[in-house]
Structure 1
Amino acid sequence: MAQNVLLTGGSGFIGSYLTNLLIGAGFTVSILSRNKKENTDTVTYYKWNLDKDYIEEEAVLNADFIIHLAGEGIVEKRWTKKRKKAIIDSRVKPIDLIFSVLEKNNKKLNGFISASAIGIYGAVTSHKVCTEETPPADDFLGTTCQIWENASEKIEKLGIRTVKIRTGIVLGKDEGFLKKLNPSFKSGFGAALGTGKQYLPWIHIEDLCQIYCKAITDDQMHGPYNAAVTDNTTNARFSRLLASLYGYAIWLPKVPPFVLRIVLGEMSKAVLEGQRVSSEKIQRTGFEFQFTDLEKALISCIH
């Protein structure tokens, strides 16, 4: 009998891609949704409501693995006090609900895999290459990721193998990071942000979802893993390359940091700063990136 994978955030960019990959690999897929949807031949939908602390327990009880992708977008809105709370709650509350079902029913999963982010290393630019052993930063991004990852520890204490995927900038066709950039770059108005010297750790959606699949099938994987290509891509290099693929050289000046601070507030740190990260740990598992060349990755996303 096929093993079942339950997804939170299964209807989003990453979740949709991952669902198709899991089905192709022979798994059955269940998705938690705020609104009850009609089941399909390949996906079963269950209802949950974080505001009311409600979850259909059957979703958890039928699962062999759970992949937690749900969470409010980091750069969708200004970081007001209310927004910061929503960002953290949307990542932690799902884990709390799942834990309560697991504990109450003494349910054992084969694995719990949670998204996380390279933001755990903080919004700062330096030449340091961050590994999974690098301490979390004490800014908002670092604190959010640390709270997010710590929430998974209660599931690990139930004797369930737990994996945390610290994700970089995700590149996909008309989705993710490129969805925000493409309108201006397609129109010939692309520009680097701030100094342009901030590093931009990236990963192709195909590689990211393959990492999630490996986290399911490789029972030796546990703890945090950086999911980003180890290279020296900066915001300026990324911008120049993307513009060239649309057939022009960047002619606009860099967007000054103070303009971004006025427009975005504290959230500007998320785009003005960035560090390099090491992918050595995930590669030691035998995982091989399909996309390590930024130009080829971008071409696959925009053509």
Structure 2
Amino acid sequence: MQILLTGGTGLIGRALCRHWHAQGHQLVVWSRQPEQVARLCGPGVRAIARLEELADEHLDAVVNLAGAPIADRPWTNKRKTVLLASRVALTEQLLAWLGTRADRPRVLLSGSAVGWYGDGGEQTLNETMAPVADDFASQLCAAWEAAALAGEALGMRVVLLRTGLVLAADGGFLGRLRLPFKLGLGGPLGNGRQWMPWIHLQDQIALIDFLLQHDTARGPYNACAPAPARNLDFSRALGRAWRRPALLPMPAWVLRLGLGELSGLLLGGQRALPERLTAAGFTFRFTDLDEALNDLLGHKDAA
């Protein structure tokens, strides 16, 4: 297949490029920094700065994962504009370009997040449910999904990935936690009862490939392991994996003071389950959090 990716230089995109290149697929990454693509994604991956560079070349699939990091800084009005533009406006630009083509890809797989549901508290969340809270993260994901769903009117099969916290050995969510935990300063956020839907990077890549290949797959899928963990349990598991204490809680008031509205993303959560993936026959390799963390970290950072 020839696959066009946005967000190809991100954590998931890089892993997808390695996976699909090894399978013999032809990969094109649309990037604002095309000169970085070969280094980050591999020398066999083609980079483009403008969609028009593809002219009338055939595409079998589009995987749309681009988006500025959501938790890197407080959600000022300026930052919210950046987050919206990097997801919604970019997706709208992509769909407008696809609409000009006579030869369109069969499938568009587009990013989203479990934040689509809002802070779910103790509710179990599956793909048949409506959002349970109306916060900025939910609004952002809803607008992102709506932009992607315009692909259905163009005759494409549209798959929406509601991804949880992706766990990887290098970078991503674990990369941000490494320093405080290595210093013995790790611990739960707030009361630690909020749910954290997580997924091992290897399973994330496998399920994207699964959904791309299955012609009956369409609509939203919760991309998270079938055993979400509470923040307190996640912190303890991470402390075990790194052989460090995880006893110092971060008070909720400190997070609210320092991060403002963004703190809701850390103090809330989603008890999301991958019911549609399981029903479709996808098998997760990592369903136990300790096993996933040990696979990724393997005590190699214990010293």
Q: TM-score, normalised by structure 2?
A: 0.92
1:287 to 282, 285, 295: 282
The residue aligned with 1:51 is none
Residue type at the aligned position of 1:180: R
Report SS of the residue matched to 1:292: coil
RMSD: 1.6
1:21: which partner in 2?
19
CA–CA separation in structure 1 for the residues paired with 2:204 and 2:134:
26
State which drifts further: 231-240 or 111-120: 231-240
Check if 1:188 corresponds to 2:214.
Answer: no
Alpha-carbon contact 1:34-1:47 (below 8 Å) kept: yes
User: Does the 8 A contact of 1:30 with 1:59 survive in 2?
Assistant: no
Match of 1:205 in 2: 201
Q: Deviations over 1:256-277 (max 9, x none)?
A: 1000001111000000011201
Whether the 8 Å contact between 2:109 and 2:159 is mirrored in structure 1 is yes
SS of residue paired to 2:16? helix
Q: 2:46 aligns with which of 37, 44, 47?
A: 44
**Secondary structure in structure 1 of the residue aligned to 2:154:** coil
> Secondary structure of 1:70's partner?
coil
> Does the alignment pair 1:251 with 2:247?
yes
Cα displacement string for residues 193-251 of structure 1 (whole angstroms, at most 9, x for unaligned residues): 10100000000111011111112111110000001112241110010111122224333
Report if aligned partners of 2:59, 2:105 keep a CA contact under 8 Å in 1. yes
Question: In the alignment, is residue 266 of structure 1 matched against residue 261 of structure 2?
Answer: yes
SS for the counterpart of 1:152 is: helix
In structure 1, distance between residues paired with 2:64 and 2:56: 12
Q: Which amino acid aligns with 1:10?
A: G
The equivalent residue for 1:5 is 3
Mapped to 2, the partners of 1:60 and 1:302 lie a distance apart of 44
**Contact persistence 2:56–2:101 (CA under 8 A):** no
| CA contact 2:70–2:83 (8 Å) conserved in 1 | yes
Q: What is the aligned partner in structure 1 of residue 273 from structure 2?
A: 278
Matched, 1:98 2:100: no
Q: Do 1:6 and 1:59's aligned partners in 2 also have CA atoms closer than 8 Å?
A: no
Q: Which of the residues 111, 115, 130 maps onto 1:135? A: 130
The answer as to whether partners of 1:33 and 1:46 remain within 8 angstroms in 2 is yes
Paired with 1:267 and 1:165, the residues of 2 have a C-alpha distance of 22
Question: Which piece of structure 1 moves more, 98-107 or 143-152?
Answer: 98-107
Q: Which whole-Å CA distance do the structure 2 matches of 1:42 and 1:192 have between them?
A: 42
Name the SS for the 1:30 alignment partner: strand
Following TM superposition, the consecutive aligned residue runs of length 4 or more in structure 1 with deviations greater than 4 angstroms are 38-41
Q: Which amino acid aligns with 1:47?
A: A
1:59 CA drift (Å): 6.9
In the alignment, is residue 33 of structure 1 matched against residue 28 of structure 2? no
- Aligned pairs, number: 293
TM-score, normalising length: structure 1: 0.92
- Work out the CA distance in 1 between the residues paired with 2:217 and 2:291: 29
Q: Is the 8 A contact 1:57 1:101 kept in 2?
A: no
Q: What's 2:301 paired with?
A: none
Unaligned residue ranges in structure 1 (runs of 5+): 49-54
Give the CA deviation at 1:151: 0.2
Equivalence for 1:230: 226
* Matching residue within 70, 78, 83 for 1:74: 70
Q: Is the 8 A contact 1:200 1:234 kept in 2?
A: yes
Of 289, 297, 300, 2:295 maps to 300
Unaligned 5+ segments in structure 2 are 299-303
Residue type of the alignment partner of 1:193? L
Bigger mean CA offset, 7-16 vs 60-69: 60-69
Name the amino acid aligned to 1:36. Answer: P
Task: State the match for 1:52 in structure 2.
Answer: none
Would you say the 8 A contact 2:188–2:247 is kept in 1? no
* Percent identity of equivalent pairs: 37
